[in-house]
Amino acid sequence: MSRLRIFDENRPGTPLSVHTAHAAIARELAGVGVRFEQWAASQPIAPGASQDEVIAAYRADIDRLMREEGYQSVDVISLAPDHPDRAALRQKFLSEHTHSEDEVRFFVAGAGQFTLHIDGKVYDVLCEAGDLIGVPDGTRHWFDMSEAPSFVAIRLFTNKEGWVANFTGSDIAQGFPRMEPVAATG
Protein backbone atom coordinates (compact mmCIF):
# COMPACT_ATOMS: atom_id res chain seq x y z
CA MET A 1 0.00 0.00 0.00
CA SER A 2 1.32 3.45 -0.91
CA ARG A 3 2.05 5.62 2.11
CA LEU A 4 3.00 9.19 2.95
CA ARG A 5 4.49 10.04 6.32
CA ILE A 6 5.12 13.71 7.08
CA PHE A 7 7.71 14.58 9.73
CA ASP A 8 9.09 17.76 11.24
CA GLU A 9 12.70 17.87 10.00
CA ASN A 10 13.90 17.89 13.62
CA ARG A 11 11.73 14.97 14.82
CA PRO A 12 12.42 11.90 12.68
CA GLY A 13 10.94 9.45 15.19
CA THR A 14 7.37 10.70 15.20
CA PRO A 15 5.34 11.49 12.06
CA LEU A 16 3.11 14.55 12.18
CA SER A 17 0.67 12.67 9.93
CA VAL A 18 0.36 9.43 7.97
CA HIS A 19 -1.70 9.01 4.80
CA THR A 20 -2.50 5.82 2.90
CA ALA A 21 -5.41 6.94 0.71
CA HIS A 22 -4.13 7.90 -2.73
CA ALA A 23 -6.23 11.08 -2.88
CA ALA A 24 -4.86 12.28 0.47
CA ILE A 25 -1.27 11.52 -0.57
CA ALA A 26 -1.75 13.36 -3.87
CA ARG A 27 -3.35 16.35 -2.13
CA GLU A 28 -0.58 16.67 0.49
CA LEU A 29 2.19 16.35 -2.11
CA ALA A 30 0.49 18.76 -4.54
CA GLY A 31 0.59 21.32 -1.72
CA VAL A 32 4.41 21.28 -1.94
CA GLY A 33 4.57 21.06 -5.74
CA VAL A 34 5.08 17.30 -6.08
CA ARG A 35 3.09 15.28 -8.63
CA PHE A 36 1.58 11.99 -7.43
CA GLU A 37 -0.67 9.99 -9.77
CA GLN A 38 -1.87 6.46 -10.31
CA TRP A 39 -1.73 4.90 -13.76
CA ALA A 40 -3.22 1.70 -15.12
CA ALA A 41 -1.77 -0.32 -17.97
CA SER A 42 -3.71 -0.29 -21.22
CA GLN A 43 -2.72 -3.91 -21.85
CA PRO A 44 -1.38 -6.82 -19.76
CA ILE A 45 2.36 -6.86 -19.06
CA ALA A 46 4.00 -10.27 -18.80
CA PRO A 47 6.84 -10.82 -16.31
CA GLY A 48 10.10 -10.14 -18.09
CA ALA A 49 8.44 -7.88 -20.68
CA SER A 50 10.78 -5.80 -22.82
CA GLN A 51 11.25 -2.07 -22.31
CA ASP A 52 9.19 -1.43 -25.46
CA GLU A 53 6.31 -3.60 -24.19
CA VAL A 54 6.29 -1.84 -20.80
CA ILE A 55 6.32 1.61 -22.38
CA ALA A 56 3.56 0.62 -24.83
CA ALA A 57 1.29 -0.39 -21.93
CA TYR A 58 1.50 3.14 -20.48
CA ARG A 59 1.94 5.10 -23.73
CA ALA A 60 -1.11 7.38 -23.28
CA ASP A 61 0.00 8.60 -19.83
CA ILE A 62 3.63 8.90 -20.93
CA ASP A 63 2.64 10.98 -23.96
CA ARG A 64 0.40 13.20 -21.79
CA LEU A 65 3.25 13.94 -19.37
CA MET A 66 5.70 14.55 -22.20
CA ARG A 67 3.29 17.12 -23.69
CA GLU A 68 2.50 18.77 -20.34
CA GLU A 69 6.04 18.93 -18.94
CA GLY A 70 8.32 18.83 -21.97
CA TYR A 71 10.05 15.54 -21.17
CA GLN A 72 12.09 14.35 -24.13
CA SER A 73 12.99 10.74 -23.38
CA VAL A 74 11.69 7.71 -21.53
CA ASP A 75 13.23 4.42 -20.43
CA VAL A 76 12.64 1.51 -18.08
CA ILE A 77 14.85 0.46 -15.19
CA SER A 78 14.57 -2.84 -13.37
CA LEU A 79 16.31 -4.04 -10.23
CA ALA A 80 15.96 -7.43 -8.53
CA PRO A 81 16.94 -8.49 -4.99
CA ASP A 82 19.77 -10.65 -6.31
CA HIS A 83 21.45 -7.87 -8.33
CA PRO A 84 25.19 -8.11 -7.57
CA ASP A 85 25.60 -4.32 -7.18
CA ARG A 86 22.41 -3.72 -5.17
CA ALA A 87 24.23 -2.43 -2.05
CA ALA A 88 26.33 0.07 -4.02
CA LEU A 89 23.32 1.20 -6.05
CA ARG A 90 21.29 1.69 -2.88
CA GLN A 91 24.05 3.66 -1.17
CA LYS A 92 24.37 5.99 -4.17
CA PHE A 93 20.96 7.58 -3.52
CA LEU A 94 20.66 7.47 0.29
CA SER A 95 22.18 10.93 0.89
CA GLU A 96 20.22 14.13 0.40
CA HIS A 97 20.64 15.54 -3.11
CA THR A 98 18.96 17.60 -5.81
CA HIS A 99 18.80 17.43 -9.59
CA SER A 100 18.75 20.16 -12.22
CA GLU A 101 15.67 18.53 -13.78
CA ASP A 102 12.55 16.81 -12.45
CA GLU A 103 12.92 13.25 -11.20
CA VAL A 104 9.91 11.37 -12.54
CA ARG A 105 9.35 7.69 -11.75
CA PHE A 106 6.39 5.45 -12.42
CA PHE A 107 6.44 2.11 -10.61
CA VAL A 108 5.27 -0.65 -12.93
CA ALA A 109 6.08 -3.29 -10.30
CA GLY A 110 7.67 -3.39 -6.87
CA ALA A 111 8.32 -0.35 -4.70
CA GLY A 112 10.70 2.47 -3.80
CA GLN A 113 10.79 5.15 -1.11
CA PHE A 114 11.30 8.81 -2.01
CA THR A 115 11.94 11.13 0.92
CA LEU A 116 11.60 14.85 0.25
CA HIS A 117 12.96 17.66 2.45
CA ILE A 118 10.79 20.74 1.88
CA ASP A 119 10.24 23.85 4.02
CA GLY A 120 11.20 22.32 7.37
CA LYS A 121 9.30 19.09 6.79
CA VAL A 122 10.23 15.65 5.54
CA TYR A 123 7.77 13.87 3.24
CA ASP A 124 8.46 10.13 3.20
CA VAL A 125 6.64 8.57 0.22
CA LEU A 126 6.45 4.80 -0.26
CA CYS A 127 5.61 4.35 -3.94
CA GLU A 128 4.28 1.01 -5.13
CA ALA A 129 3.08 -0.49 -8.41
CA GLY A 130 0.77 1.96 -10.17
CA ASP A 131 2.25 5.10 -8.54
CA LEU A 132 3.93 7.96 -10.37
CA ILE A 133 5.94 10.56 -8.46
CA GLY A 134 7.31 13.74 -10.01
CA VAL A 135 9.91 15.46 -7.82
CA PRO A 136 10.53 19.00 -9.13
CA ASP A 137 14.06 20.07 -10.03
CA GLY A 138 15.98 21.56 -7.12
CA THR A 139 13.97 19.65 -4.48
CA ARG A 140 16.15 18.18 -1.73
CA HIS A 141 15.44 14.45 -1.46
CA TRP A 142 16.86 10.94 -1.18
CA PHE A 143 15.73 7.56 -2.47
CA ASP A 144 15.77 4.13 -0.87
CA MET A 145 15.13 0.82 -2.61
CA SER A 146 15.73 -1.32 0.53
CA GLU A 147 18.35 -4.02 1.09
CA ALA A 148 16.41 -6.28 -1.27
CA PRO A 149 15.41 -3.98 -4.15
CA SER A 150 12.59 -5.17 -6.34
CA PHE A 151 11.08 -2.80 -8.85
CA VAL A 152 10.45 -1.99 -12.48
CA ALA A 153 10.08 1.73 -13.12
CA ILE A 154 9.53 4.00 -16.08
CA ARG A 155 11.71 7.11 -16.02
CA LEU A 156 11.00 10.33 -17.92
CA PHE A 157 13.74 12.88 -18.64
CA THR A 158 14.13 16.34 -20.07
CA ASN A 159 17.78 15.51 -20.80
CA LYS A 160 18.83 12.00 -19.83
CA GLU A 161 22.53 12.85 -20.16
CA GLY A 162 22.09 15.71 -17.70
CA TRP A 163 20.59 13.68 -14.85
CA VAL A 164 23.18 14.09 -12.12
CA ALA A 165 22.79 14.03 -8.33
CA ASN A 166 24.05 17.22 -6.66
CA PHE A 167 24.68 16.23 -3.04
CA THR A 168 23.83 18.84 -0.39
CA GLY A 169 26.35 17.63 2.20
CA SER A 170 23.61 17.36 4.83
CA ASP A 171 23.36 14.22 6.96
CA ILE A 172 19.59 14.62 7.51
CA ALA A 173 18.79 11.42 5.62
CA GLN A 174 20.66 9.34 8.19
CA GLY A 175 18.08 10.11 10.88
CA PHE A 176 14.93 9.15 9.00
CA PRO A 177 13.41 5.70 8.48
CA ARG A 178 14.79 3.50 5.71
CA MET A 179 12.67 1.40 3.41
CA GLU A 180 11.93 -2.09 4.61
CA PRO A 181 11.91 -4.81 1.93
CA VAL A 182 8.42 -5.22 0.51
CA ALA A 183 7.07 -8.76 0.82
CA ALA A 184 6.32 -10.42 -2.48
CA THR A 185 2.64 -10.90 -3.24
CA GLY A 186 1.12 -13.34 -5.59
CA 186/CA 169 separation, integer angstroms: 41
CA 150/CA 127 separation, integer angstroms: 12
Residues with pLDDT less than 50, the chain: 185-186
pLDDT at 164: 85
pLDDT at 61: 97
pLDDT at 185: 46
- Residue 30 domain flag: yes
pLDDT at 183: 62
- Residue 171 domain flag: no
pLDDT at 186: 39
CATH of the domain at 137: 2.60.120.10
The separation between CA 125 and the C-alpha centre of its own chain, rounded to angstroms, equals: 8
- Residue 135 domain flag: yes
Going from the C-alpha of 64 to that of each of 8, 91, 101, 142, the distances in angstroms are 34, 33, 18, 26
State which residues form the domain around 54.
Answer: 3-163
- Residue 185 domain flag: no
Contact assessment for residue 42 and residue 137, using Cβ atoms and an 8 Å cutoff? no
Q: Give me the chain's average pLDDT, please.
A: 94
CA 152/CA 133 separation, integer angstroms: 14
